[in-house]
């Protein structure tokens, strides 16, 4: 692996950029690994990276049925924030935001983290009360979040329509200044490059068809498209397909998989300086460095594994965007897509050991897994290496659905994830 | 947009008239106080989440307002059949045969 620095960039520029070495090899599976991670998205590759760098475990394979970063890592709207209501969530997501700050330096790979601020708009009295409660709760947890008046919102985001006659009047907003966006593909690539440099095998286009168990119940390895691979530990980080994979090990999870849609516009010059989320009308928007408006929509109402989603949701989202930002009402949309997200009943993630010895799972991120990538990967690696959870992910067990100790962000937070 | 057949109205109508109501054939225990924590977890939270034919409930919200059951393939989103609530679970083999 060539380290990126000013000297190597200059040297390669002078030789026509023809001498760069490959960033990670296209590995073929060995017979046996210490740890097999199922799913080569940001979470899975990140876990491999932290296992290698912080826990000294390098005999690892990360296996994916497609290409790395081709699932939800490459399909989300790249929003990063940590203004969650409950203590457990605030700690987990703020841990991720802490890691985002210098992730580019850590990985020697530019993930283009931009803390341009995430502004959540309040359109009615309930929104105002709920968001102010969030601001107070966040500040008690040491999470950056503050209240902006209508005029301050307009100043922070000039394209906003704050007319009192607007269909969705802006009554203020909650601004997390430290929040922002990052380049989603670069996160997967950076972790992949860092992990591969330390000896991790990244095996693409190789579906894991089943998890095999020993006679004593512990995990034995995985059946794949390229044959059986033995493993001491198996860690599943397969987003919308987690329950399908885990079922083969006899573990049933409280998950349902829904398509979550997003769309982008034609690229234009810089017009949109921040990220704006309007939960009441379901409109999330930012502008990518390429110039496209990146717009997040909602989940379809029915469970599905088709990465398409229905058009009624797109229509609803675009209608809301053009009301809140009339400046965009003649923008043309280029494409839309969906990713399959695994949703838990309490809308909080699971980073946990399982009833099967040697089997671990990181799932249930629903519609908001990208922002947590470094934090989830870091605590998941800890859980795999030490066979016990990190204090930050300790509340996010599978067990909570039996004990009733839920982390109920869905009902109380009134935020999209 | 999905086109959904309401077995009560006997019409095939756009998805916008319907609301999804989760997995079908989940039966609440006759005697709730006898249930263990594991059984409550199973009843409340654990779902099949199958990749393939899925038994599920829909409600004809902007029509007759009634709940009915459906079998839909969650890979293609095609409905294999819809049937009235309370009717027995249709045999999967006969449904998929009809599709071919």
> In angstroms, what separates the C-alpha of B73 from chain A's closest C-alpha?
8
Contact status, residue A156 vs residue A261, Cβ threshold 8 Å: no
Q: Under an 8 A CB cutoff, do A255 and B1 touch?
A: no
Q: How open is the CA angle B8-B9-B12, to the nearest 5 degrees?
A: 115
Contact status, residue A43 vs residue A69, Cβ threshold 8 Å: no
Sequence-distant (6+) residues with CB within 8 A of A355 are A251, A398
pLDDT at A414: 46
Q: A361 CB near a chain B CB, below 8 Å?
A: no
Q: Indicate which of A305, A319, A404 best probes the interface with B, i.e. most B CBs within 10 Å of its own CB.
A: A305
Contact status, residue A101 vs residue A113, Cβ threshold 8 Å: yes
pLDDT at A54: 98
CB contacts, 8 Å: A301 with chain B: 19-20
Q: A136-162 pLDDT, tens per residue?
A: 999 999 999 999 999 999 999 999 999
**DSSP, res A131:** H
Q: Indicate which of B40, B45, B72 best probes the interface with A, i.e. most A CBs within 10 Å of its own CB.
A: B45
CA A170, CA A28: separation in Å to the nearest integer? 55
Q: A8-58 pLDDT, tens per residue?
A: 999 999 999 998 989 999 999 999 999 999 999 999 999 999 999 999 999
Tokens 């992910």, located at residue: A393
Domain range annotation of chain B: 3-27+36-99
Tokens 């935020």, located at residue: A415
DSSP H stretches of helix in A283-393: 311-324, 373-386
Q: Under an 8 A CB cutoff, do A310 and B2 touch?
A: yes
Mean pLDDT of B67-96: 93
Cα distances (Å, whole numbers) of residue A288 to A74, A101, A107, A400, B91: 14, 19, 22, 38, 49
> In angstroms, what separates the C-alpha of A171 from chain B's closest C-alpha?
31
Q: A217 CB near a chain B CB, below 8 Å?
A: no
**Burial class of A255 by CB neighbour count within 10 A (0 to 12, 13 to 18, 19+):** buried
pLDDT at A386: 98
Select from B95, B79, B85 the least CA-distant residue to B1: B79
pLDDT at A398: 96
CB contacts, 8 Å: A253 with chain B: 46, 49
Q: B16-25 pLDDT, tens per residue?
A: 999 999 999 9
**Burial class of B97 by CB neighbour count within 10 A (0 to 12, 13 to 18, 19+):** exposed
Q: Report how far Cα A59 is from the mean position of its chain's Cα atoms.
A: 25
Cα distances (Å, whole numbers) of residue B5 to A409, B13, B48, B70, B79: 35, 6, 23, 9, 9
Cα distances (Å, whole numbers) of residue A289 to A113, A127, A179, A181: 11, 30, 16, 10
pLDDT at A412: 58
By C-alpha distance, the chain A residue nearest B14 is A312
Q: Which of A301, A305, A310 sits opposite B51 (nearest CB)?
A: A305
With left for phi above 0 and alpha for psi between -120 and 50, is residue A313 left, alpha or beta?
A: alpha
Q: How open is the CA angle A402-A339-A23, to the nearest 5 degrees?
A: 105
Q: A306 CB near a chain B CB, below 8 Å?
A: yes
Q: What is the pTM of this model?
A: 0.95
> In angstroms, what separates the C-alpha of A316 from chain B's closest C-alpha?
12
Pair of tokens at residue A14 = 């002078």
By C-alpha distance, the chain A residue nearest B53 is A304
Q: Under an 8 A CB cutoff, do B72 and A302 touch?
A: yes
- Length of chain A counted residue by residue: 417
Q: Indicate which of A304, A306, A336, A366 best probes the interface with B, i.e. most B CBs within 10 Å of its own CB.
A: A304
Q: Indicate which of A302, A312, A402 best probes the interface with B, i.e. most B CBs within 10 Å of its own CB.
A: A302
Q: Which of A311, A312, A345 sits opposite B45 (nearest CB)?
A: A345
CA B42, CA B28: separation in Å to the nearest integer? 11
Which class in CATH covers the domain with range B3-27+36-99? alpha beta
pLDDT at B51 over 50: yes
> Three-class SS of residue A159?
coil
By C-alpha distance, the chain B residue nearest A310 is B1
Q: A309-336 pLDDT, tens per residue?
A: 899 999 999 999 999 999 999 999 999 9
B-contacting residues of A 225-254, CB under 8 Å?
241, 243-244, 252-254
> Three-class SS of residue A236?
strand
pLDDT at A285: 96
- Length of chain B counted residue by residue: 100
Q: Which residue ranges in chain A fall short of pLDDT 70? A: 410-417
Q: Report how far Cα A245 is from the mean position of its chain's Cα atoms.
A: 20
pLDDT at B97: 67
Q: Under an 8 A CB cutoff, do A243 and B2 touch?
A: no
Mean pLDDT of B21-33: 95
A151 CB neighbour count, 10 Å cutoff: 11
CB contacts, 8 Å: B46 with chain A: 252-254, 401
CA B42, CA A216: separation in Å to the nearest integer? 25
Q: Under an 8 A CB cutoff, do A303 and B1 touch?
A: no
pLDDT at A380: 98
Mean pLDDT of B56-68: 97
Q: Report how far Cα A405 is from the mean position of its chain's Cα atoms.
A: 24
């Amino acid at each position: 692996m060539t380290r990126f620095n000013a000297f190597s960039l200059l040297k390669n520029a002078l030789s026509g950029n023809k001498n760069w070495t490959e960033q990670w090899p296209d590995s073929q599976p060995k017979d046996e690994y210490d740890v097999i991670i199922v799913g080569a998205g940001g979470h899975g590759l990140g876990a491999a990276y932290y296992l290698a760098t912080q826990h000294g475990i390098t005999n690892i394979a990360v296996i994916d049925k497609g290409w790395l970063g081709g699932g939800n890592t490459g399909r989300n709207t790249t929003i990063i924030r940590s203004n969650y209501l409950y203590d457990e969530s605030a700690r987990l997501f703020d841990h991720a935001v802490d890691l985002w700050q210098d992730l580019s330096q850590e990985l020697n790979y530019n993930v283009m983290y931009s803390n341009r601020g995430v502004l959540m708009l309040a359109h009615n009295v309930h929104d105002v009360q709920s968001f102010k409660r969030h601001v107070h709760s966040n500040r008690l947890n040491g999470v950056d979040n503050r209240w902006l008046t209508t005029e301050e919102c307009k100043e922070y985001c000039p394209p906003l329509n704050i007319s009192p006659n607007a269909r969705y009047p802006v009554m203020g907003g909650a601004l997390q200044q430290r929040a922002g966006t990052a380049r989603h593909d670069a996160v997967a690539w950076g972790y992949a490059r860092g992990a591969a440099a330390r000896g991790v095998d990244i095996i693409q286009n190789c579906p894991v068809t089943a998890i095999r168990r020993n006679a004593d119940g512990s995990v034995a390895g995985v059946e794949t498209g390229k044959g059986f691979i033995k493993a001491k530990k198996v860690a599943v980080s397969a987003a919308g397909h987690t329950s399908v994979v885990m079922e083969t090990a006899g573990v049933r999870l409280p998950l349902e998989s829904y398509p979550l849609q997003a769309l982008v516009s034609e690229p234009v010059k810089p017009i949109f300086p921040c990220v704006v989320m309007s939960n009441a009308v379901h409109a999330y928007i930012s502008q990518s460095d390429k110039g496209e408006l990146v717009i997040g929509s909602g989940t379809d109402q029915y469970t599905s594994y088709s990465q398409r989603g229905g058009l009624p949701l797109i229509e609803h989202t675009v209608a809301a965007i053009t009301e809140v930002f009339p400046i965009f009402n003649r923008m043309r949309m280029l494409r839309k897509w969906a990713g399959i997200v695994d949703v838990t009943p309490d809308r909080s993630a699971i980073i946990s050991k399982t009833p099967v010895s040697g089997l671990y799972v990181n799932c249930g991120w629903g519609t908001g897994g990208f922002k947590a990538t470094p934090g989830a990967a870091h605590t998941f690696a800890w859980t795999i290496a030490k066979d016990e959870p990190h204090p930050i992910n300790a509340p996010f067990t599978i067990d909570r659905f039996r004990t009733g100790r839920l982390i109920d962000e869905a009902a109380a937070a009134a935020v999209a994830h | 947009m999905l086109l959904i057949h309401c077995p009560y109205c006997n019409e095939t109508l756009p998805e916008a008239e319907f609301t999804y109501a989760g997995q079908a054939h989940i039966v609440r225990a006759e005697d709730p106080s006898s249930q263990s924590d594991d059984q409550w977890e199973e009843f409340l939270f654990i779902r099949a989440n199958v990749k393939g034919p899925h038994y599920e409930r829909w409600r004809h919200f902007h029509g007759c307002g009634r709940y009915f059951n459906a079998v839909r393939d969650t890979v293609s989103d095609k409905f294999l059949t819809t049937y009235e609530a309370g009717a027995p679970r249709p045999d999967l083999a006969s449904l998929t045969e009809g599709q071919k």
